[in-house]
Amino acid sequence: MQHNVNWLQALLVLSLSVTLGWTVEVQRPRGVPLTKRQFYDEAKPFTCLDGSRTIPFDRVNDDYCDCKDGSDEPGTAACPNGSFHCTNAGYRPTFIPSSRINDGICDCCDGTDEYNSGASCQNTCKELGRKEREALQKLAEITKEGFLLKQQLIEEAKKGQQEKQSRLSELQDSRKGHEDKVEALRTVKETAEQPEKEAKERHLKAWEEHKAALRLEKEKAKMAEVFLELDDNADGFVDVSELQTHQELDPDGDGTLTDTEAQGLLGGAHKVDSTEFMNMWSNMKEKYVSEVCPPTPSSDLDKDPDSVYPEDDLDEDAAGEDDEDDDDDDDRDDDDDKVISPLQVLEKLSVCERERWCLLCNAALLPFSFRALEKEISFDFGPSSEFAYLYSQCYELTTNEYIYRLCPFNRVSQKPKYGGSETSLGSWGSWSGPEDNKYSVMKYEHGMGCWQGPNRSTTVKLTCGKETAVVSTSEPSRCEYLMEFTTPAVCLEPPNIDTQVHDEF
Amino acid sequence: MSCLLAVWLAVVLSGIQAVDRSNFKTCIQSSFCKRMRDVVPGHSPYRALLETLELSNTRLTLQLINDNNKVRLLLELYRLQGNMTRLKINELKPLRPRFEVPDVLIADPPTEPLSLVSQDEGGVVLSLGADARHLVVSARPFRLDIVEGPHVLLSVNSRGLLAFEHQRPRKDTLSKISSTVGSMWDTIKNIFSSSSENDSEEVEAEEDAEDQNYEKEEDQADMWEETFKSHTDSKPNGPTAISMDFSLPGVEHVYGIPEHAENLRLKTTDGHDPYRLYNLDVFQYELYNPMALYGSVPVLLSHSTQRTMGIFWLNAAETWVDISSKAAENTDSVQAPSKVAQTDVRWISESGIIDVFIMLGPKPTDVFAQYASLTGTQSFPPLFALGYHQCRWNYKDQEDVRSVDQGFDDHDIPYDFIWLDIEHADGKRYFTWDPAHFSQPREMLQGLVDKRRKMVAIVDPHIKVDSGYRVHKEIRSKNLYVKNKDGGDYEGWCWPGTSGYPDFTNPEMRSWWASMFAYDQYEGSMENLYIWNDMNEPSVFNGPEVTMHKDALHGSWEHRDIHNLYGLYVQMATADGLIQRSGGVERPFVLARAFFAGSQRYGAVWTGDNAAEWSHLKISIPMCLSLGLVGISFCGADVGGFFKSPSSELLVRWYQTGAYQPFFRAHAHLDTPRREPWLFGPENTALIREAVRQRYALLPYWYLLFYKAHGTGQPVMRPLWVEYPEDVTTFTIDDEYLLGRDLLVHPVTDEGSKEVTVYLPGTGGVWYDAFTFQRHEGGQNLYVPVTMSSIPVFQRGGSIIPRKNRIRRSSSCMEKDPYTLYVALSPQGTAEGELYIDDGHTFNYEQKKQFVHRRFIFADSTLSSSNISPDSQFSTASWVERVLILGAHKPSSVTLKTSGGSVASLEFDFDEATSVLTVHKPGVNAGADWTLLFQW
């Protein structure tokens, strides 16, 4: 009968612990940790560790559970609540539930849990120990370097903070003056738009017609403007050479607008008059860049809620651009939210050459950049602002199907690798690590909704690393995403590293 | 998984939470059902032509004539061994052969001689053997009565609802084939002229009416074509429906005809739709109504304190069952006429023939044995299939599988199977693996092997139409797809997009399909990979009622004829494949959603896409009980509910219920939040762990029950009335049930329950709480206070149940563990039980008689273990660790005698408070003979 396996042999196990080349023999019943050895004295009756009962010592490890706490069967699976101690010399000692003794699966790296199951377990403790030491060493190195980087980040953040503060006060000062000017402009604009508004209020249909008419008018006006702009020699014709001043119209994107290409844009003619040009315009208008400052500021004014009528925003310029944000280039992608850094504002402004930078632009954008700056300063960038460097940055990870994008303190998104629209996986919510480690987890919430499910959200786990990078993404639960993100900013000061794995002795 | 249509209906129905009934036909919308239901009782046009009676050794044949249209039918009657009668009716001269269901009966049922007792112009009386049991055939109108002594047990066509739509030429093509028809009429005339003078005269008169009759029948709408929603059924063979009524005097309770989300006891269908049997993929099904669901078993059981009987209507076409009950004149005895209850049942099918098995009982166990003798018994599953199954649509990748597997170890919860739903395959091309998420399937499966666990992968029967997909290419090149009415490959939408549907009715197709499970064909598969066939109704997202067009063709048969059989064939072919891949050694495990009579032979079924609602938890009990009554014991419901998200209380209660139902699998919809057992806080984790552990402790009992179900056809999960057939109180109980005879389970299925009332049957008997061992009298309603940890389970006094109390990571890990015997004494101080052990996974128990089957008897202060099957041989490592005697008193000594003659005194504890005697460590091998002697 297999259960009757020489329990005496089973009882006394020779535990080998190799430390510093010494061999130590410690006799104790199977499955008992050294710390509890004194309770198992074979010369005396055994008292269950909970004190509930005393039994003859030969009932210890006899494969029948006598103690409610399982303490009489540390080396067998007889008690439902028992635990078995693996010495695991060379690695870490551990306890496993009694139910894993002789279940045919090697649980202890020293294989001692499978002494009567037929499973042949290799002793893998040394190998595991070596690997663990290596891993710890590597981790220690990363932590060390990461922590140095963190110190720099903190320094930079301090400087940055000061700069921002002073910039903020500057802006505050100039804000008032600009506001007055903007107010004046707004009045002018509103007066100009008064008929439009009245039309709207009269009737939607009429308004739609009016809108179409307006659009056509605007289109015509714009085209006329362009025609004049292009017709450098003012001969009432736009010709190939005149068109060639606008290299951005190059249809094949090789950077040169050749004679043939230009002629193609003009419908095969060498030159066209304004009427003919009207037919050609549609081929060009997507690409055409005006030589004058684009009317960005007035667009911003158009966004004034007062001028918005039934849902759709008419003005093709700014509003149109806004709607198409998803298709825009990366560097424009960042500015579709209210959160916009002053730097980005400046970048945007550089589209318009500095000398053409008009008052209007400035006036309109100023409050905007002011708010953004104010917001940035108000963020919780960690105890020493070590996370400030992540602000306004974005990090991507490409998987088999998707490109994931994390813009810390802003948003998380997912975009199919091979075309398709971007999905928001959440906007910045809060730091949400455990109380003692708040800055280890970021939460992004209120992403796009799921069918029969919640709005998408993302948890970002921060781990110490030299690089700042998204290292993995997953969706552990439907529409709840998990990102792992490495950054030096969470690297802790390395302790005086003793890489020795703790051995039981 | 298998929510049907989740994706595509999401768009159409977003927000709609319950079934869209308009997607499915009512009786009125199914033209044959309407026509048949319009037949008025009491005016049967059918007459038996007694002069055509032929009686051979094995059968009686007799022609029936419809006096309205003169079409003749052929009736065949068989007396079958085991107290059954078979009755078949077909057209005498059908234009085309009518479909007779193959592959459901395990063999031609053996017959017994029918002998003629008496005959006159009114009819004939035939003897059905002992007990003065007779079959009475009445001629005018045709009617059958099965009587026993003075009692009518069952009558056929007593209400005159027999209807048989004979095949006929289509009216607009009538002239073209008039010569054929004409000659047929001549034949009919000849038959009549050979009969009596009277009849000939009638023929003359009727001949004039013949044309008129065709005209009249042509007039009915939808006979040659009908349209439901946007789908037109071309019905090239015209009307072919059949209908028959059965009356059951003295019967008030009828059961069976699954699958319906309905109480155990069937309701009358007067005033609303009949119960429908038509395998359908129903999105978010509703409870307590007669709508068709995923599977069909056309078997109805009747039960009264006197007798249990069964009616098996062997027809695979769309079928509707009407049930009505009425008070009838009691004319079957010499007593003064009195009102007794009667239940009438009417079956209606769209095509095929009438082929009915009347199982005469008389006890419930007899009916189960009778039905098993026709269609076979529950397949004996591998032991591990009775463990806990962890499923979700979908475990996303190998890492997900690994971490869920690890989660069970981290939380010390046993499980045997982790499941992969449709997303695991490459673009829903079954038999393949998604290269991004499951690139190393063997590595993943080996990881499970290392933990002694298994996996199930889904393989659905719809095949992506993709010329680069080997499975599709081969089926197409072998010309084995179902065809559309025009002869091309039938195509429909399902998960992979445009899909073909293999013709599983073709043995060549099944054999090819089975060969696909060979390890070298199904790449990445391993011995511990088992299979799930979902969507085998078949589900066709863009088909009529989300299934296949009825005019699609399976060889020469229309889909109309075979519909309810398709799912059975899919599971059959898959199970065969799993057996073949192991060279005939290993028992298969295959789960299917659609099923038919006989499906029990191939694996497990579940109740489909339920929802995380208390009502769905509650209905899982009658749904599985109904299946058990008709042979399908291996039944379960998705634990937690498939759609929606359960509260932690509902989830815990569902685990507690599922742990005591045969097929124990948690499953969830793709869009629901994760719900592995440890995600609901430590308290709930502990409650779920405990429920699962109880399941594992009782695996020896479950295994025994399945072994017996396989051997005898007795259901594993039983309504109380099966064991207490004379206790009327039990007849309507479906919130509690028995496992075998010896465990009574009353799961808590109400939110916030503080108590349940458990009916303990068996006056004069006792029951013991399975955990506190408190003793309760039988024959009472017991008020049981419950907490979240309570699962009211009782062991019958008089029974002995073996448990394995060392709960490990998986059932395989428990193989060599010792048993504890729970001996629950009857008031007479006796008890009896069995133990079955084999290797747990091969056919060696059957082929080589390698098993242990023990009987334990406690009587006269002696507990003994003896061999039930002396010709079997198996050596087990398991031993007897402990014996608990419930309802005992304190002995002075306990002595163990082994077969070797050794005698040893054993230690014991006695708990005065609970009257439980615990005998320590008999230590005897579980396969050995031994005796425990108690001195009191």
**Contact list, B805 vs chain A (CB under 8 Å):** 80
Which among B534, B561, B735, B838 is annotated as catalytic?
A: B534
**Contact list, A477 vs chain B (CB under 8 Å):** 673-674
The yes-or-no answer on residue B20 being catalytic is no
Helix and strand element counts for chain B (H, E): 17, 53
- Tell me: pLDDT of B474 over 50: yes
* CA distances, B189 to each of B49, B66, B195 (Å): 14, 14, 10
Centre a 10 Å sphere on the Cβ of residue B427 and count the other Cβ atoms it contains.
15
Q: Helix (H, G, I), strand (E, B), or coil: what is residue B257? A: coil
Q: Helix (H, G, I), strand (E, B), or coil: what is residue B831? A: strand
Which of A201, A248, A236, A149 is closest to A464 using CA atoms? Answer: A149
Which among B233, B344, B561, B609 is annotated as catalytic?
A: B609
Give the residues across from B63 on adjacent strands.
B49, B74
Residues of B with CB under 8 A from a CB of A: 10, 14, 396, 399, 412, 436, 450-452, 643-644, 669-674, 805-809, 812-814, 816-818, 877, 879, 881-882, 920-921, 923, 925
Q: How confident is the model at residue B731 (pLDDT cuts 50, 70, 90)?
A: very high
**Contact list, A4 vs chain B (CB under 8 Å):** 923
Count of positions (residues) in chain A: 505
Which of B94, B239, B244, B65 is closest to B165 using CA atoms? Answer: B239
What are the two backbone dihedrals, phi and then psi, of residue A435, each rounded to the nearest 5 degrees?
-50, -40
pLDDT score for A181: 67
Rg (CA), chain A: 37
A64 touches chain B (CB under 8 A): yes
**Contact list, A480 vs chain B (CB under 8 Å):** 673
* CA distances, A357 to each of A248, A318, B582 (Å): 22, 17, 80
What contacts B87, CB < 8 A, 6 or more positions away? B75, B76, B77, B78, B144, B156, B354, B355, B356, B358
pLDDT score for A172: 75
Most confident of A328-342, B9-23, B44-58: B44-58
Say how far apart CA B656 and CA B690 lie, in whole Å. Answer: 9
Yes or no, beta carbons of A480 and B816 under 8 Å apart: no
**CA-nearest residue of chain B to A79?**
B806
> Which of B412, B452, B670 shows the shortest C-beta gap to A478?
B670
**Structure ipTM:** 0.88
A478 touches chain B (CB under 8 A): yes
Question: Span B909-923, mean pLDDT?
Answer: 97
**Contact list, B451 vs chain A (CB under 8 Å):** 105
For residue A117, give both structure tokens.
């199951």
Mean pLDDT score of chain A? 76
pLDDT score for B926: 97
Least confident of A274-288, B246-260, B338-352, B740-754: A274-288
> Which of B399, B674, B805 shows the shortest C-beta gap to A477?
B674
Distance from CA of A52 to the nearest CA of B (A): 15
Q: A294 with A352: CB under 8 angstroms?
A: yes
pLDDT score for B172: 66
Return the higher-pLDDT residue of B213 and B588.
B588
Say how far apart CA A427 and CA A406 lie, in whole Å. Answer: 10
Q: How confident is the model at residue B599 (pLDDT cuts 50, 70, 90)?
A: very high
**CA-nearest residue of chain A to B671?**
A478
- Tell me: pLDDT of B169 over 60: yes
A124 touches chain B (CB under 8 A): no
**CA-nearest residue of chain A to B676?**
A477
Question: Span B909-935, mean pLDDT?
Answer: 97
For residue A143, give both structure tokens.
């932590």
> Which of A4, A450, A476 shows the shortest C-beta gap to B674?
A476
Yes or no, beta carbons of A451 and B816 under 8 Å apart: no
pLDDT score for A54: 96
Say how far apart CA B602 and CA A118 lie, in whole Å. Answer: 34
Say how far apart CA B730 and CA B314 lie, in whole Å. Answer: 29
A113 touches chain B (CB under 8 A): no
Yes or no, beta carbons of B879 and A476 under 8 Å apart: no
Distance from CA of B741 to the nearest CA of A (A): 28
The yes-or-no answer on residue B871 being catalytic is no
For residue B131, give both structure tokens.
């007990």
pLDDT score for B475: 98
Say how far apart CA A392 and CA A400 lie, in whole Å. Answer: 26
Give the burial class of A250: count Cβ atoms within 10 A of its Cβ; 0-12 exposed, 13-18 middle, 19 or more buried.
middle
**CA-nearest residue of chain B to A481?**
B673
pLDDT digits (tens, 9 = 90+) for A39-60: 999 999 999 999 999 999 999 9
Q: How many Cα atoms are found within 13 Å in the side-chain-facing hemisphere of B673?
A: 14
Return the higher-pLDDT residue of B5 and A82.
A82
Question: Span B631-644, mean pLDDT?
Answer: 98
Residue ranges of chain A with per-residue pLDDT less than 50: 1-25, 293-346, 349-359, 499-505
Q: How many Cα atoms are found within 13 Å in the side-chain-facing hemisphere of B324?
A: 14
**CA-nearest residue of chain A to B449?**
A105
Say how far apart CA A158 and CA A172 lie, in whole Å. Answer: 21
> Which of B451, B807, B809 shows the shortest C-beta gap to A80?
B807
Give me the amino acid identity at B837. Answer: I
> Which of A105, A454, A479 shows the shortest C-beta gap to B451?
A105
Yes or no, beta carbons of A99 and B818 under 8 Å apart: no
* Residue B406 CA to its chain's centroid (Å): 35
Size of interface A-B (CB pairs under 8 A): 77
**Contact list, B814 vs chain A (CB under 8 Å):** 103
Residue of A79, A452, A457 to mutate, testing the B interface (most B Cβ within 10 Å of its Cβ):
A452
Q: How confident is the model at residue B923 (pLDDT cuts 50, 70, 90)?
A: very high
Question: Span B908-922, mean pLDDT?
Answer: 97
Q: B638 with B658: CB under 8 angstroms?
A: no
Yes or no, beta carbons of B806 and A78 under 8 Å apart: yes
Yes or no, beta carbons of A77 and B920 under 8 Å apart: no
**Contact list, B692 vs chain A (CB under 8 Å):** none
Yes or no, beta carbons of A478 and B674 under 8 Å apart: yes
Yes or no, beta carbons of B818 and A452 under 8 Å apart: no
Mean pLDDT score of chain B? 92
Yes or no, beta carbons of A2 and B877 under 8 Å apart: yes
Centre a 10 Å sphere on the Cβ of residue B914 and count the other Cβ atoms it contains.
17
Residue carrying structure tokens 């051979």: B56
Yes or no, beta carbons of A105 and B925 under 8 Å apart: no
Q: How confident is the model at residue B209 (pLDDT cuts 50, 70, 90)?
A: very low
Yes or no, beta carbons of B808 and A103 under 8 Å apart: yes
